[in-house]
Amino acid sequence: MIKLKQLIKESLNKVVYTKPNFEFEWEEANRYPNLFSSKEDWLEKAKVGKMMTIDCDMNINNTDMCQPDVDDLEPVKLKRVKKMIDSGRIELPIVIKHKEQYELIGGNTRLVGMVNNNITTKAWVIEL
C-alpha cells in the first residue's frame, strides 16, 4: 500500500529523477579524502550507487531536509532547484552510507526543495 501511495504521489508530481553529475560533485566529495583518495576513486565508487527513497528516520548527517527552512540556503541554489522542480526533472542528491551511517555529499538544497514541494525525497546512495 505504501508503494502505491508513493507511485501516485510521484505521478501527480510528474517527477523524473536524473543521475547526479559525478564530475561536478567531485568538489563536494573531495571533502572526504579518507573515503575518496582521488577523483578517479570517487568516480569509480559513485557510479555503483543506486537511487533510493530517503527519509528522516535514516538520520542523514549534513542535511536540512528534516527541518526544511529555505532562509539559510543560497539564493542561487534555490533558483536552480526551483527550475528543476518546475521542469519535473530533478538531479539526485548524493548520500553515502559508511559504517551504517548516512551522510549527504551534495544536494541539500534539492532535498529541502523536494520536502517543501511534497516530492518524494530520493537520492543516489553509495554504500562504502
- Rounded distance between C-alpha atoms, residue 128 and residue 37, angstroms: 13
Q: Which three cell numbers stand for residue 122?
A: 530520493
pLDDT band at 72 (very low <50, low <70, confident <90, very high): confident
Q: b/e per residue, 19-52, with b = 16+ CB within 10 A?
A: ebebeebbebbeeeeebbeeeeebeebbeebeeb
Question: Could you tell me what percent of the chain has a pLDDT over 90?
Answer: 82
| Nearest partner of 70 among 115, 120, 103, 122, judged by Cα | 115
Res. 59: pLDDT tops 80: yes
Return the higher-pLDDT residue of 23 and 73.
23
- pLDDT (0 to 100) of residue 23: 96
- All 3 cell numbers of residue 49? 550507487
Classify residue 105 as left (phi > 0), alpha (psi -120 to 50) or beta: alpha
> Are the CB atoms for 119 and 55 separated by under 8 Å?
no
pLDDT at 8 over 80: no
For the entire predicted model, the pTM comes to 0.86
Looking at the domain that runs over 2-127, which CATH code has it been given? 3.90.1530
Q: Indicate if the pLDDT at residue 76 is higher than 80.
A: yes
Residue spans of the domains in the chain: they are 2-127
